[in-house]
Amino acid sequence: MTSHGVFSARPAPQPMAAREPADWSVRPRYALTDIPSLLWRERWLMGATFLAVAALGVGVALTLKPTYQAHSSVLVSLGQEYVYEPRAGDAARGAVPDSDHMLASEAEILNSDALHADVVRRIGVARLAPAEAHAYAVASPEQRELMIAKLADGVGRALKVDTAPANPVIRLTYQSADPQLAALVLNDLLDDYLIFRRTVLMPSAAGALDDQRRAFEQRLAAADAAYQTFLTGNQIGDFDADKTALSQLSAQVEQQQYANDASLREKSGRLATIDAELAGLAPEIGLYHDSDPTASAKLAALKVQREDLLSRYKPDAQPVQEIDAQIAQLQTAIDAGRTAANGPERTGLNPVYQTFETEKLQLDAEVAALKATGAEFADQMAKLTDRRLRLAQLEPQNDSLSLDRDVLQTNIKDFAAKADESEASQAMAQSDSDNIRIVERASAPTSGRSLRSAVAALALMFAGFTALCAGLVRMFLRPGLPTPASAARTLDLPVLGSAPLKQPA
């Protein structure tokens, strides 16, 4: 009997002797027709699971914020930066790329991380990511650059650059949770793009001025090589610096030599004085003698004994009075000096003699060191004097080579300045970027996109699927035979009737 009280009314058609006993340990057998009724039995579990998962999913959907997309477009036409100008000859002069290549180049510039980083610096971290403003303010320069790189990467992910074949227009889209910020980022991106693209597509060219400057640079390289050969051959690092350093070093060595001689004379005089003092001192002297503490120790013992008697007798008792008399007699003898006696005497090394002896040894070592130092200073002065005389002989040749280098360097600076002026003039002529036109600047979008509905729908679908899975799992895990049809299939017996299981009282 199961929960439905299954009863068999008659035996199976085959003979009883030939029939095997039913295997009650096998799992119940189900049919598709059993599933609806069995799931209905699990409706409370399925309902609770559906409500819990659906509430969680809808709660997540409600937290999603809408995003706003700002749009802009740029018209790209052929400009001077795309016309090939060779530095020498006329080969391929005037060659231009096709429009698709130009659009691809401009799109790549718009997607450049360097451009996005410039946008982040221009707008500021506090405006782009207010939550990171404090961390950026207290961060180190390396950490700030890392934060800017991360924000620039976020700008790149939020930016969409669209081009189409044979269409000279580039469409830009930027999405953000703040509509005003979306328009601000896109407009600043366009402004920085107009400046940034010139540094990429318009390299500096100074023509003949650069050629002339390079010719002077070659001559300067030859003059530098000759001057370096002169310095290397004479073991000179920098002539003027070496000359100045030798003069300063000679003065320092000479000053140190004078100080060393003075110190040597002073320590030699002290050494002679100490030798004279040592001649009149004895190496050993009497140090001290000990006194005899017998009487004081006896007096202290009597006082201890009296305190012991007071613990047993009154102060006027005979034993206490006798020991008081002994204490008074001994104290009188000590005060009168009758018990004083000399202890053992000791002799030892004379500390004054030892001090003079130690100082004498130190002065001997210092005098020897000062004499060695004086000899070293004399050797150094001789070498420095020889080196200074050698530099004086090489100075005319050094001045001639240095004058040639200075003249060439001055000419190079003049031509470099002229080349810079030429490049500035070219940059001013090209600063308008008339081949790039902003067709539409970004404005703050009034409506945004939200994924709330889609996420909520997916959450409800997932909640239904989860509830169904929970019902199926609970259905298959229930013990017993849930339906008469399942009992008949499982036991291989016909079911003649069933009744609900009576709950115990």
pLDDT tens for residues 35-76? 676 777 777 888 888 888 888 887 876 676 767 788 888 888
Q: Is residue 173 within 8 Å of 70, Cβ to Cβ?
A: yes
How many CB atoms lie under 10 A from the CB of residue 491?
A: 19
**Is 492's pLDDT higher than 70?**
no
Residue 12 pLDDT: 44
H/E stretch holding 204 reads none
Q: For tokens 């202290």, what's the residue?
A: 300
Assign 291 a pLDDT band (cuts: 50, 70, 90).
low
Compare 489 and 244 and report the one with higher pLDDT.
Answer: 244
Task: Give the model confidence (pLDDT) of 349-378 as tens digits.
Answer: 767 777 877 887 887 888 888 888 888 878
Q: Which of 35-39, 56-60, 85-89, 92-96 has the lowest mean pLDDT?
A: 85-89
Mean pLDDT across 182-195: 86
Q: Select from 460, 464, 468 the least CA-distant residue to 35.
A: 468
Separation of alpha carbons 109 and 192, rounded Å: 11
Separation of alpha carbons 99 and 167, rounded Å: 8
Mean pLDDT across 403-425: 71
Separation of alpha carbons 27 and 33, rounded Å: 18
Q: Is residue 480 within 8 Å of 5, Cβ to Cβ?
A: no
Mean pLDDT across 225-250: 77
Q: What is the CA angle 246-249-255, rounded to 5?
A: 140
Residue 206 pLDDT: 53
How many CB atoms lie under 10 A from the CB of residue 261?
A: 14
Indicate whether this model's pTM tops 0.75: no
Return the beta strands (E) in 296-363 as ranges: 342-349
DSSP state of 22: P
**Is 477's pLDDT higher than 80?**
no
Note every long-range contact of 458-465, with CB atoms under 8 Å and residues 24 or more positions apart, other chains counting: 458/57, 459/53, 459/54, 459/56, 459/57, 459/58, 459/60, 459/61, 460/54, 460/57, 460/58, 462/53, 462/57, 463/49, 463/50, 463/51, 463/52, 463/53, 463/54, 463/57, 464/50
**Is 342's pLDDT higher than 70?**
no
Q: Which of 94-103, 342-351, 407-416, 454-463 has the lowest mean pLDDT?
A: 342-351
Compare 344 and 364 and report the one with higher pLDDT.
Answer: 364
Q: Select from 123, 106, 102, 117 the least CA-distant residue to 156.
A: 117
Q: Select from 175, 199, 200, 197 the least CA-distant residue to 186.
A: 175
Residue 348, burial from CB neighbour count under 10 angstroms (0-12, 13-18, 19+): exposed
In DSSP notation, 41-77 reads: HTHHHHHHHHHHHHHHHHHHHHHPPPBEEEEEEEEE-
In DSSP notation, 436-491 reads: EEEEE-----S--B--HHHHHHHHHHHHHHHHHHHHHHHHHHS-S--SHHHHHHHH
Compare 270 and 26 and report the one with higher pLDDT.
Answer: 270
How many CB atoms lie under 10 A from the CB of residue 130?
A: 9
Residue 463 pLDDT: 82
In DSSP notation, 89-146 reads: S-TTTT----HHHHHHHHHHHHT-HHHHHHHHHHH-HHHH-GGGHHHHHHS-HHHHHH
